[in-house]
Amino acid sequence: MDQQNTGVSRQNLMLEDKRFLSVSGVEDVASFDEQTIVAQTVMGELIVAGRELKINSFSTQTGDLSVEGDIVSLGFSERVEPSGGFFSRFLR
């Protein structure tokens, strides 16, 4: 897929020993605590679950996120564009 045609930037994840996670393409960190980190990425939502999680670094300029802790799972959901809501279907 060509990046220019889709308008989507690349995203990379690297997990080392279930202890260190590096993610590129991160737009925002929506929430975080010691058990869960929710990040909005160029490819959708990323949910990191574990224990004693901490964000080592996050750059809004480069989109790089670094997480450390006992990482148990990574969950993804695709980016969904808003459809306009319930009433927009009736007003077409």
Name the CATH architecture for the domain at 3-78.
Sandwich (2.60)
Torsions phi, psi for 87 (to 5 deg): -75, -25
pTM above 0.95, yes or no: no
CA gap 77, 69 in Å, rounded: 22
In terms of DSSP bridges, do strands 44-58 and 20-23 run parallel, antiparallel, or are they unpaired? unpaired
**How does pLDDT run across 39-87, given as a tens digit for each residue?**
999 999 999 999 999 999 999 999 999 999 999 999 999 866 555 655 5
In terms of pLDDT, which residue wins out, 90 or 17? Answer: 17
